């Protein structure tokens, strides 16, 4: 493999790695949310599958504050 092929692989890894981590965090938040019904969860997951980047941005804008509260509640002991 040439240097440019390795460079291309590195760029793809740098772009896809954080995107995949963000999608996993959002899917975990959707599953963890007790206020969201089954149809709502299915709609969000379908939106993430069909339009991953746009769906993730819309989810973070629409439900990002609740996401941070749910994440913080996981770390509360007692």
CA gap 20, 40 in Å, rounded:
22
Q: Which run of H or of E encompasses 19?
A: helix 3-32
Tell me the pLDDT tens digit for each residue of 41-67.
999 999 999 999 999 999 999 988 888
Whether 39 shows a pLDDT value over 90: the answer reads yes
pLDDT at site 65? 84
In DSSP notation, 20-78 reads HHHHHHHHHHHHH-SSS-HHHHHHHHHHHHHSHHHHHHHHHHHHHHHHHHHHHHHT---
pTM above 0.95, yes or no: no
Whether 78 shows a pLDDT value over 70: the answer reads no
Q: What is the mean pLDDT of residues 30-40?
A: 91
CA gap 41, 48 in Å, rounded:
11
């Amino acid at each position: 493999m040439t240097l440019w092929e390795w460079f291309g692989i590195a760029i793809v890894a740098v772009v896809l790695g954080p995107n995949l981590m963000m999608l996993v965090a959002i899917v975990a938040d959707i599953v963890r949310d007790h206020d969201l019904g089954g149809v709502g969860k299915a709609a969000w997951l379908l939106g993430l599958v069909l339009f991953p980047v746009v769906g993730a941005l819309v989810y973070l804008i629409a439900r990002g504050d609740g996401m941070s509260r749910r994440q913080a509640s996981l770390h509360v002991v007692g």
